[in-house]
Structure 1
């Protein structure tokens, strides 16, 4: 608003100056100038002033464009500074959720272009974004990597105890829940074309779970395996940027468990598990 008013004022002032130069020149030609202002400004000076003023008047539009460019650059500078501060002081953390945000993660999966990865003991909320995973694999050729706990791992029993599932009646069974998750993924695997199936990769790991991770491109949702609650019921730290401090640490953990994990053939996941010790 202020810039527009200033430009209009500049245009008006310059137009008046240009008009005054023309009028004075005409008055001088008709001999009126000497009567009004004897010994006044010479014709040459007035002509030069009129030409310069008219030229500047024509350039006002371009000067306005420069103002717009300057405003855009200022905005970019502020955004760049904010991004730098976020990465420096918060290590890539952009927000913290009280529990897993299914809708937000589903949106991230729906817009992912390169990779979706999940590290869990099992995925209790798989049904929330199963359809989005299928569309990512089929429609956008996105690689989907899923890491689950080996159902027969001793860690499964420890996690049962941590969740309080040894109580009667048990509320969950990690072994059975992992198998149910694998069965769901096998159904997803069977529902896509053979040429799309290679992009859906599942491995099981026999190791102490460190963190739960849901990743879509460079967005990470990270939580801990606390006692008495599922990881998706715990606080979720959202990280933006694989090159941030937190992003690099989480990605390295994903890479480590992927290396030690064993492939599951979703065409025969039960038979595949029987060969994994």
Structure 2
């Protein structure tokens, strides 16, 4: 046994003896008082002295415990220095590639929170954006009040991929429930044009829209370093599919998704929202 262990054992024994003596003394004094022995054995102020002795013993015991209480204070101090959130983020990065949560469907409330807190950029990669009308106002606020850069990537409405996506959506459903991809892209462009027309000139420059002619691998909703990512499954809109919430552009998943965004943005063509129909019509496929 080490010296520290021996010292701790002796200290423990002394504390137990002190407690036993205190408890025994208290019982003896109580019994002597009941039997009337105190008046015979300890006349005058002896009872007060015995009480003082007991209190002194208790005080001594508490003094023994001061070091232990100080150790607890040190533990709390050390815990307060730990960056618990930082450690959790490191674990997520190391083991889950930045994925912090998986949602059953598109979490509109969560994305609205991302939009309200965004200060740098918002990027959306979709074939078209079925829920665009739900956060049009939040996009306007981000553009006007915080100067956020907004980039939107949509499938070219005349792309052969639009027809393929139409067919994929009808594969496991009644064709009457199918989506008209081309018309849906037009609707998204119309909403974005309405947003654009309500902005001042400097604010309009922050809203950029491109159309691409390619097969997208994922749908992405990004606000600063937060991503919501889903897949284009047969018979199901991307916003109804499982959504991965990814945190951090430098995480493993964040880098891959950002690379996909950059690739599609690079091959996309700008849309002039002041005349989106004429602009899209002259973009060659």
TM score, norm. by length of structure 2: 0.71
Indicate which of 68, 80, 94 corresponds to 1:72. Answer: 80
1:129-168 correspondence to structure 2 within 5 Å: 129-164=135-170, 168=175
Moved more, 168-177 or 198-207: 168-177
CA distance in 2, matches of 1:168, 1:88: 44
Cα deviations by residue, 1:87-121 (Å, 9 ceiling, x for unpaired): 11100000000000001101100110100000000
**Which residue is equivalent to 1:191?**
198
CA distance in 2, matches of 1:261, 1:214: 17
Q: Does 1:98 align with 2:104?
A: yes
Cα deviations by residue, 1:184-215 (Å, 9 ceiling, x for unpaired): 00000001111100000000000011100000
CA distance in 2, matches of 1:260, 1:219: 23
Q: Secondary structure at the match of 1:226?
A: coil
Cα deviations by residue, 1:28-85 (Å, 9 ceiling, x for unpaired): xxxxxxxxxxxxxxxxxxxxxxxxxxxxxxxxxxx99977643311x32x44332222
Cα distance change on mapping 1:83 and 1:184 into 2, 3 Å? same
Q: Does 1:225 align with 2:232?
A: yes
Indicate which of 196, 211, 216 corresponds to 1:209. Answer: 216
Runs of 4+ aligned structure 1 residues displaced above 4 Å come to 63-69, 165-168
Indicate which of 238, 250, 259 corresponds to 2:257. Answer: 250
> Gaps (5+ residues) in structure 1?
1-62
Cα deviations by residue, 1:151-181 (Å, 9 ceiling, x for unpaired): 0000000000000089553531000000010
Indicate which of 113, 116, 122 corresponds to 2:128. Answer: 122
Q: Does 1:181 align with 2:169?
A: no
CA RMSD of aligned residues (A): 2.1
Larger Rg: 2
**Per-residue deviation, 1:228:** 0.2
CA distance in 2, matches of 1:209, 1:236: 16
Q: Secondary structure at the match of 1:183?
A: helix
Q: Secondary structure at the match of 1:243?
A: coil
CA distance in 1, matches of 2:147, 2:124: 17
CA distance in 2, matches of 1:114, 1:133: 12
**Per-residue deviation, 1:275:** 0.9
TM score, norm. by length of structure 1: 0.73
Asked if 1 retains the 8 angstrom alpha-carbon contact of 2:166 and 2:178, the reply is no
CA distance in 1, matches of 2:197, 2:74: 58
CA distance in 2, matches of 1:221, 1:71: 33
Q: Secondary structure at the match of 1:118?
A: strand
CA distance in 2, matches of 1:120, 1:209: 8
CA distance in 1, matches of 2:88, 2:73: 26
> Gaps (5+ residues) in structure 2?
1-70
**Per-residue deviation, 1:86:** 1.1
